[in-house]
Structures are given as structure tokens and as C-alpha cells.
Amino acid sequence: MFDSAARPDREAAGTLAADAPHRRRAYIRHSVFKERLMAEEKKGFMSRLFGRKKEHDPQEPKVEETSRPDETSPQVAEDLSPDLGRGAEREVHSATVEEDTEAGEATFLHEVKEEEGGLADETEDTPPKKPEAPAEQEPAPKKKGFFGRLTEGLSRTSSKLASGVTDIFTKRKLDEETLEEFEDLLISADLGLGPTERVIDRLRKERVGQDVTDEEVKTILADVVSETLEPLEKPLTINPGHAPHIVLVVGVNGAGKTTTIGKLASKYVADGHSVLLAAGDTFRAAAIEQLAVWGERAGVPVVTKAHGADAAGLAYEAIEQAREEKRDVVLIDTAGRLQNRSELMDELGKIVRVIRKLAPDAPHDTLLVLDATVGQNAISQAQAFTEIAGVTGLVMTKLDGTARGGILVALGDKFALPIHYIGIGEGIEDLRPFKAQDFAKALTAEV
């Protein structure tokens, strides 16, 4: 699979090479910045850690699904997504996390909280949003075009970048100090060391000693983001010749796997494919029901087994059924698992081995679903899932719920994995095929 070694020209994100002192300086500056913010934000962090209920901000997106009681009204759940019964399984998720913490492992939760505290820009003080039900009496929201929705979805990330750029570049001659400030901004926006370095190098080469406007800087930034991600823009195409094309969907708890499968099922049906879903998340009882609702909505059958059943066996049976029914594609859901839980990761390896007994070249695609709100932790998730499950492509969800959307650039740079789709909201139309230029433009847009 892809790893940093596959990109020898680029240093792996998070690694400080001895021959890159300026990068090391930037990271040290960034660490100091993080520590200071963490101290300032400690109160918020602690209260979150101990589950203090916060005031609800209806503008904020829902981002802490796995640890928060379900406040969604049944009406909302029905209207917006078949996200059923998450309250019950959330208990399981938080128990898992606590177990990890008690064991003293470097847990996913711990890492994420640290990073959130350090960057202090989102889930810290921004409680999850209840999805807003399109209430019957309310006027229908004005339809936005593709780019409008993308720009709106990425607005939290882009406004952080845009205001930073405007603060730093206010009609002054470009010097090393300004470049350093800008480098800090890009690193704190999770863009990764490689892309950050390329933006800085380009600015240094082209503009040092000259006046530079914030618009010119944003254009250079958009160009570098676009160049980094364009080679990874690849739609997920179904090859009916595989009879069926088998897609395994993996990721940590709450990343958006089941929802993504539901949305993909609808898209493939609309494209004329015959689809079968496999509810392989047997660990989370409500996930089975959730997928069944998505299946019903898309008009496709869902293979299910009882809660706790063997997921590998279920995947096997689903493939057999898809062959009998001559389906084009099988989408297999899996239970969310923390990347540092080796026994759960081994179970994923077992699912792959069992699938290969029936179809040695399968899974034909293994999609890693990553939640953008976790920021840098997405890097270690991609690393672990790539090693265990042979990830072949990415879907990044919840770009609408974070100021850390820059992480997609760092991921693309480090892993060079195709980016198939991005999620910019909870509706079916919010799962978009990834387009690097649009993403780069939206990321640097003024909103």
C-alpha cells in the first residue's frame, strides 16, 4: 500500500528531519502555541472530559456522536438520516474508550482531545448540532449549487484560513518573519508539513521583497492544494465484471461508515446498478437497523444477522447471495474500531481473509471513512487501517463540522490514496465526488 516511502520526495507528516531546521522551528513554535491554548482551554477540556452538559448552539454541527446522549428527535432522525438508536450503542463506544483509558493506552479519545485542546478551534467549545428537521411549516431552504454547498460546508476551515491570511498579509513587503507567521498558520490549519513547505517555498521564490496581497497568497495556496490533491481525484467506479464488485467500508466509531454506505447505495441505484448491502457492523445493534432503513430508502436488500454475530461469516453469506441474485455491487459495513485496539483490527483482517475465500481478488475497494473533525488523528487512523485492511481509497466526512478540513491535504500528501468522496452534511446530496480544484477553491474562499 501507499506510505511515506512511496513518496520519497516528501517527508512524512509529523516527522522532523534533521536537515529541516526551519520546519523543526515551526513545529516547536506550534507546540508552544498548542500548550498555551491548552492551558487557556483547560476548563473547557476538563468539563468535556467529565461530560458537563453544554449550552446547545444550533449553528454548530453534530460532531461528538459517539459520546453524547441522543438528543435528536425521532422526527429529525426520520427526516434527515436513518441514524437510529445511537444512544444505546454510544454507551458501548464510551465504555470502549474508558477501557482503553484505564489500560493506560494512548487512546484515540485521548489523542483527539489533546489535539482539539491544542488547536482550540472546534469540538472543544462547540457542542454537536441537532440536525435541523425540515419542519413542515418552514419554507423550503433555497437550493444552492454544487460549489455553493461545498463552500458553505468548508466555511469553518476557510474562514480560519482567510482571516489568518488577511491578518498576516496586509499590504506589506514579504519578508522571512511574515513567511514564518504564515507557516504557523498553515500548520495549525492541519495542512501538513509537505504542502506547507511548498506554499512557503513558492512564496519565497516568487515574492520575497515585493508587496503581496492576501488574494495573491490565497491563489498560491489554492494552487498548491490543488496540485497536491488533483492526482488523487478518482471516482469510485463499479466494475460489474467482478460480479459482484465488493466494497469493504472501514473506519473508527462514528466516522460515518453506515451513513456513507447508505448514500452510496442510493447513488449506485440511481446509476442503474443492482446493489446489495451487508450489515457487518454486528457490534452495534442499531447499526443493523440503521442500514436496513438506508436499504429500504434506496430500494436495495440488506443482509443482516443478529447483534454480536460473526461479521466475517455475514460478509461471506452476503457475497454468496449477491452472486445468486446477480448483483453488481456489495457494500459491506463493518463495526467501528479504534485503530489502537489490536484485537478489533485483527478481526478486520479476518473479514478480508474470509472474503478472499470466495473472491481472491476482493475486496475490490476498501474504503476508509475518516471524520474530518478529528484533525491530525486521521493520519494515525489512515496508517493503521492501511496496514491492516489494505485501504484503497478514502472518504472524508463531516468537513462541514470542522475548521480542520486542511487535514485532507496532509492525508493526500502523505498517503497518496485516492479520495473518492467528501461529506459536507448529513443529506444524501451532501456526499460529493471529490474534485481537487473545487476543494482548493472552497478552502481558500472568502465566506
Ligand X SMILES: Nc1nc2c(ncn2[C@@H]2O[C@H](COP(=O)(O)OP(=O)(O)OP(=O)(O)O)[C@@H](O)[C@H]2O)c(=O)[nH]1
Judged by CB, which is closer to ligand X: 132, or 167?
Answer: 132
Ligand-binding annotation for 335, yes or no, is yes
Beta strands in 365-438 (DSSP E): 365-371, 393-397, 419-423, 431-433
Angle of helix 285-298 relative to helix 86-102, nearest 10 degrees, comes to 140
Output 38 or 396, the one with its CB closest to ligand X: 396
Q: How far is the CB of 275 from ligand X (least distance, A)?
A: 17
CB of 99 closer than 8 Å to CB of 108 = no
Is 39 part of any known ligand binding site? no
DSSP code of residue 255: S
C-alpha angle 252-155-26 in degrees, rounded to nearest 5:
75
Residue 227 CA to residue 363 CA, distance in Å, equals 29
| Min CB(439)–ligand X separation in Å | 14
Judged by the rule CB under 6 A, the positions of this chain that interact with ligand X are 61-62, 65, 81, 83, 251, 253-259, 281, 284, 287, 336, 397-398, 400-401, 423-426, 430
**Does 142 show up as a binding residue in the annotation?**
no
Between CA 446 and CA 311 the distance in angstroms is 46
Q: Is 390 labelled a binding residue? A: no
Instruction: Report CA torsion sign: 406, 407, 410, 416.
Output: negative
Of 90 and 160, which CB lies nearer to ligand X in the complex structure? 90
How far is the C-alpha of 195 from the C-alpha of 160, rounded, in Å?
17
Is 364 or 398 the residue whose CB approaches ligand X more closely? 398
Nearer to ligand X, 187 or 394 (CB): 394
Structural contact between residues 311 and 347, judged by C-beta atoms closer than 8 angstroms: yes
Least distance from C-beta 258 to ligand X, angstroms? 3
Q: Which residue of the chain is nearest ligand X when measured via CB?
A: 336
- Establish whether 430 is an annotated binding residue: no
Residue 378 annotated as lining a ligand binding site: no
- Tell the smallest beta-carbon distance from residue 255 to ligand X (Å): 4
Instruction: Indicate the residue type of 263.
Output: K
Minimum CB distance to ligand X smaller for 38 or for 275: 275
Pairing of strands 329-332, 275-278: parallel
For residues 426-435, b (16+ Cβ closer than 10 Å) or e, as one string?
Answer: bebebbbebb
CA 140 to chain centre: 29
CB nearer to ligand X: give 61 or 164. Answer: 61
Closest distance to ligand X from the beta carbon of 147 (Å): 17
CB 162, min distance to ligand X, A = 21
253 is in an annotated binding site: yes
CB of 208 to ligand X, least distance (A): 40
Alpha carbon distance, N-terminus to C-terminus of the chain: 38
Q: Which of 424, 399, 400 is nearest to 411 (CA)?
A: 399
398 is in an annotated binding site: yes
Query: Is 51 assigned a ligand-binding role in the annotation?
Result: no
Q: Is 113 annotated as a binding residue?
A: no
Beta bridge partners of 393: 367
Burial of 78 (0-12, 13-18, 19+ CB in 10 A): middle
Cβ closer to ligand X: 253 or 392? 253
Annotated binding site for GTP: 251-258, 333-337, 397-400
Annotated binding site: 251-258, 333-337, 397-400
